[in-house]
Every structure is written in structure tokens, then in C-alpha cells.
Amino acid sequence: MTTVVHQGLTPSRSTLSNGVVVIGKETHTTPAVTISATFRAGSMYDPPSRPGVANFLSRTIDRGTARRSADEIAEALDGRGVSLIVLVTRHQVAITCTCLSDDFDPLLDLVGDICVHPTFPDREVETRRKEIVTSIRQDEDNPAVMAIEALMAALYPHGHPYGRLGKGSVETVEAITRADLEAFHRETFTPSGLSLVVVGDVPVSRITEQAHRVFGEWRSERAPEVVVPEPERVSSRRRVVVPMMNKVQADIAYGFVAIARTDPAYYAFLVMNNVLGQYALGGRLGDSIRERQGMAYYVFSAFEANIGRGPLVIRAGVDPRNVDRAVASIDEELTRLTGHGVTARELTESKQYLVGSMPRTLETNAGIAAFLQNVEFFGLGFDHDVRLPRLIDAVTLEEVNAQAREYLAPDRAAVAIAGPYEEHSEEAPPSGR
């Protein structure tokens, strides 16, 4: 086992002989500890014929182990006032909890048991299946969810994993078996795929010692690497309408395939997106569409830079009568941004906002744990919290405007509309070039 201590947050990073990465950060603000066990096992790893397996596993992995029943797990958590959170993303499944420092040893033992020895009891599988099916049907009745799902399918077509339904469909969930869950767990929950982060009022030496006790003897085949395919390049506008005539609000999802997290332009893109749809009450989009024109209940932009090229998405909720005007206004704001660029004042204020908001993400043990997991996953270096303000401050006006021109052309956008709206001919959008 090798151990290296880094600058910045100064966590300790250890690698067990079986490949488990253990990251410990000692804090003393409160007598509490956050445990975060994260595996490379998200929806990217779903078998193409079984979309939704990763999500299904996230709902059942804590429902019984070789040593504990579901009731015993619940009792162990409730008795200590602890909530166990299991989250699934495209690339990861994370099991997280926060407990008192005195409960660290037994809680880490419980988390380890859940990670390594789940049994997926038939009764629990069927109960969770019904819950997932209900959740999918609720999504199918939600214009906001339907719009974003339609957009992702348009941005990432032809079976690209980023375009799949994370929960799967009713049909695929009904077909998932206990054997599917066991196979997915066996293939993706491996020591080499585990990053264990512990942050809180516990010595680093104890973190390393207990991690070795719980996970050190675990042996499994190394999980195969999953390569994210390059999304297809497009040169024309795409538009999808999902009619939901019984609703009172229409939701718009408007977007582009953007960049990967390791792209050198990431920080310029971060600033550009902040100007467009994040700063203050929603950036330029919020100022124009919601505040000055009064057309939207909400409007913002967000982008997800991932292992592969993630999306930049503009979201808006509007009165159905305002759909076309809202889409046209988004086009206009993007044309203005790509044509005239960000102003020097917008650049300065956005950089100040991004740098100033960073400390808030590190105020809690859970926030620090999430930050360290992100740093480990993308290989950013454990002094990233120290370097990040400088990286943002170094972004130039020319770099920000170059990203806008490269990626935000309205004539290459995908637009999805869900709600009480019927398709009709759309006027050509203004050119982003």
C-alpha cells in the first residue's frame, strides 16, 4: 500500500493492494464523518438490451446482504439517525452517508457489506421494480422530464449511451431479473473501480486502517474500461415535439453537444455558460426572457462536461402560447452572444461569482467528499481547490468568445418541446456564424 499526501485540501490518498483508492480528509468542525463509496458503474455500463439496470441496482443494493436483512440494515441506520443515499449517474454509482464520529467504524462496516455482498432478495427486487415503474410513468406525465429526454435522444442518437434513458423504460424494467442485477454488480463493483472518500472528525490513520479492514481482502476481476463514443457531428437544426395536451405548461429543452471535462477550454466554457444562463437571475437568458419579456416561469442554462463530450442545455418553462416566442428569443440571445461576444464587465463579474461561490461547496464534510470524488474521477490533482481560482481568473475574453462561436450556433441546435403544443412549420433560425 502506497500513501501520498497532497497540497490544497491536503487529503491522504492511499491505494490498497487490491486497487481500492482510499482518500481521507480530517476535519474538526463537527463531530461527524461523511463516508462516500463511489464505483465506476453508472448507466454507461448498462447492457444495451437492458437500459435501467444501473438505476435498478441503485434502488436494491441496500435491501439485504449476505450478513444482514433489509430490516437489519434499516435498523442499524435508523438507530444511529443516519440516512444512506445511493445515487447513480452516467458513469458512477455512489453510496454515501454522514454519521457521528463515534459511529464511523460500524457504519463503514455496513457500507462495505452493502458494496461487496448484496443479495438482491426477490421480494425486495419486486417491490423496487414497482416503484421504478411508477417513477417512470410519473416522468412520462412530466413535460420537463419528457423535454430533456427527447433532447438527449436528439443530441446522442443511434444508441449512444448518453442518449439512453437512465431509468430505462417500463418494458425494460419489467424484463430486468435478479440475475441481471447480480451480473451487473459482479462486473462493475470491483476493488479497482472503487474510490472511498472519508471526510470528518476521525484521524487519517484510522481511516486507512478501517478501510483496509473492510475492503482489503476483497478480490475480484478488474472491470473492463468503457469507452464513450464520439457523438455524431451535425450541421442542421433538429426539432422534436412531445404533445401533452392535458398539461397547462410547456417545457423547452434546447441544446448542443459541448465538451469533455478534460478539454483545455473547460474553464472558458464554464465562464461562458455562467454569462449565458447562470449569473444573478439566470444570466442573459434570465434577464431577457424572464425579467424583461416576462415569457418564462424559469429559464437557465447548464452544461455537463463528462468523460465524453457532454451537453450544454438551455431549459425554459413557458405558457404554451409563448413557446415560439421563447425559442426565437433563445435564438436571438445566442446570435447576439456569438456575434458580439461577452463584455469585459460580464467576464469580470462572472469570474468573481464563480471564484466567490467555490468556498460554499467546501463548507460541509459532504461537500468536501463530493469535491474530492470529482477530483479523483477526473484526475484533477488534489491541489485543485488551490489552483481553481487561478484557472478561472486566467480565462480571457477571447477564449470565452471563441467557445461561444464554436458551440452555440442556433442553426445547429437541437430543440425539444413537451406540453400542450402542436408542431407546425418553424421559421429558419438566425445563423450562429
Same-domain check for residues 50 and 94: yes
Same-domain check for residues 39 and 127: yes
Q: pTM, whole model, 2 decimals?
A: 0.92
Same-domain check for residues 253 and 191: no
pLDDT of residue 281: 81
Same-domain check for residues 145 and 257: no
- Tally of structural domains, the chain: 2
Work out the pLDDT band at 429, boundaries 50, 70, 90: low
Work out the pLDDT band at 423, boundaries 50, 70, 90: confident
Query: CA dist 249 to 111, 245, 304, 370, Å?
Result: 42, 10, 26, 34
Same-domain check for residues 287 and 387: yes
Same-domain check for residues 210 and 290: no
Host domain of residue 323: 238-419
**What number of helices (H) and strands (E) belong to the chain?**
15, 12
Question: Which CATH number is 340's domain given?
Answer: 3.30.830.10
Same-domain check for residues 245 and 294: yes
Please write the tens of the pLDDT for every residue from 117-157. 999 999 999 999 999 999 999 999 999 999 999 999 999 99
Work out the pLDDT band at 4, boundaries 50, 70, 90: very low
Work out the pLDDT band at 424, boundaries 50, 70, 90: low
Mean residue pLDDT of the chain comes to 94
Among 150, 181, 215, identify where a domain stops. Answer: 215
Average pLDDT of 180-207? 97
pLDDT-wise least confident of 60-69, 149-158, 232-241, 305-314: 232-241
Nearest to 252 by CA among 242, 262, 264: 242
Q: Is the pLDDT of residue 171 over 60?
A: yes
Sheet with 21-26, edge to edge strand ranges? 2-5, 12-15, 21-26, 194-200, 32-39, 93-100, 85-88
Is residue 228 domain-resident? no
Among 215, 247, 278, identify where a domain stops. Answer: 215
Same-domain check for residues 195 and 298: no
Average pLDDT of 212-227? 89
Is residue 425 domain-resident? no
Same-domain check for residues 162 and 210: yes
Average pLDDT of 87-98? 97
Average pLDDT of 268-292? 94
Same-domain check for residues 7 and 77: yes
Is residue 290 domain-resident? yes
Is residue 232 domain-resident? no
Q: Is 129 helix (H, G, I), strand (E, B) or coil?
A: helix
Q: Give the list of residues 6+ apart from residue 339 with CB closer than 8 angstroms, or none.
A: none
Same-domain check for residues 123 and 250: no
Same-domain check for residues 298 and 345: yes
CA distance 76 to 47: 34
